A = this chain, B = another copy of it.
Amino acid sequence: MSNKLAPSIRLSFPLMALVFQVAIIGLFAGFVDYKAITEGKFSITYPVFQDVNAVVVIGFGFLLTFLKRYAHSGLAFNLFLAALAVQWATFLEGALLDTLQEGIQISLKSIIRAELNAVSAVISIGAVVGVMSPIQLLLMVALELTCFVVDQWFLKSWLSIDPDTSVMHLHLFGAFFGLTASRVLYRSGLCNGHEKEGSLPISELFSMIGTIFLWMFWPSFNSALLDTRLQRSRAVFNTYYALAACSVSVFAVSTLVHNKGKIDMANIRNATLSGGVAIGLSAPLIDSPYIAMIVGFTAGVISTLGVVYLKRCLETRMKLHDTCGVLYTHGLPGIIGGIVYVVLIFLTSPVPNKSLNYEGSPINKAVAIIVTLSASLVTGLIAGQCVNWHLQRERI
């Protein structure tokens, strides 16, 4: 994405991408097939798979188009990185999280889980797009996916957390991994691209394609891995009403704090989804819509106020650059969602302290969220240093 590239850098990105792709094909040839397909729910799962697919390539892709300079490359890079990430995640998941003995068997559900993992990487891209070079983005995505799947493997092995639950930590992991990596790069004086990050009215409209697709497919996203009809319907209904209440609160707060009483499209883009993110973990548990609506409403208020008052402060004082505002779309709502989830499972679990079976232990689930958050900060720091070091070596 930079204008002048030395031949060595110019060639290193495509060659690295080709090597990575060929290596993945090799790994797939050795370990992955779908000979054991017996999926009974294929027809039921297929529309959900398509919706999650739309979230990844349309939703997050067009969300990046609001940058007037990076509209095209942002959209194109999202497709490229998502395509690579899904393949890499398929392999990692199969290698670390699958319980089958006979190689890695692909099913529709495993592809959906690979896409959810890829979303964590796509979220991080939102924090650093325009700051990282293509090769840095590629490295970061590969590192992040590996760290996130290892995190899920750790949570499964040590805290008996089902990977279908821990993969929903993706907002926390993606946002804080990306923000930490962005913070590391800030120090190295890379952020000379800020003036390129303005948006045009027309690019705002393109980015609304992303926002609206995410909004629309979010009920599918939050219910994609749930097995029973009860859980799926609850997750869909709660996400739907949380998003509706959130949208209203975002509009109201956004016009309330705007000095001319107008709508700021940046608030809509960053905050409208926050209700759906905040309800993510607890959506299958809640059986009354008003709770989801309160969560969505609160997330909308906090996220909008964050964009309005926190963004500039973080950039100037904490030297934290956040191109797409992933802190407000995924970070803060992810924390709200974690708190809501922990409160809910402690309230609904009858005797939390004595439940020694790990599977259902509320304490384990609370610890898991803290582990993921810590892991995202630590691995984001390390990944930031890696890609930073890579660039400096390239410069020599």
Residues on A facing B (Cβ under 8 Å): 3, 5, 9-11, 13-15, 17-18, 20-22, 24-26, 28-29, 32-35, 37, 39, 42-44, 46-51, 53-54, 57-58, 61, 65, 71-73, 75-77, 79-80, 83-84, 86-87, 106-108, 111, 134, 201-202, 204-206, 208-209, 212-213, 215-217, 219-220, 229-230, 232-234, 236-237, 240-241, 243-245, 247-249, 251-256, 260-261, 263, 265, 268, 272, 287-290, 293-294, 297
Contacts and interface: CB of A to CB of B under 8 A. Distances in A.
A268 B74 CA distance: 13
B216 A83 contact: no
Which 9 pairs from chain A and chain B are nearest by CB?
Answer: A10-B261, A29-B290, A83-B247, A14-B256, A17-B252, A14-B252, A28-B290, A83-B244, A43-B44
Given A234-B34, A247-B79, A263 B73 contact: yes
Given A25-B297, A53-B216, A106-B289, A208 B75 contact: yes
B47 A50 contact: yes
Nearest to A258: B10
A247 B80 contact: yes
A340 to B, nearest CB: 15
Contact of A80 (B202, B248, B294): B248
A72 B265 contact: yes
B37 A230 contact: yes
A104 to B, nearest CB: 10
Given A25-B245, A58-B213, A80 B265 contact: no
Contacts of A79: 212, 215, 247, 268, 272
Contacts of A245: 21, 24-25, 83, 87
Contacts of A261: 5, 9-11, 13-14
Contacts of A289: 28, 32-34, 106
A215 B18 contact: no
Given A14-B252, A83-B247, A244-B83, A205 B206 contact: yes
B293 A236 contact: no
B86 A237 contact: no
A50 to B, nearest CB: 7
A260 to B, nearest CB: 7
Interface centre among A35, A244, A297 (most CB of B within 10 A): A244
A34 B232 CA distance: 12
Contacts of A39: 229, 233
B229 A17 contact: no
Most chain B CB neighbours (cut-off 10 Å) among A215, A243, A247, A256: A247
Nearest to A247: B83
A34 B216 contact: no
B84 A42 contact: no
A106 B72 contact: no
A21 B297 contact: yes
A233 B34 contact: yes
Contact of A42 (B10, B208, B233): B233
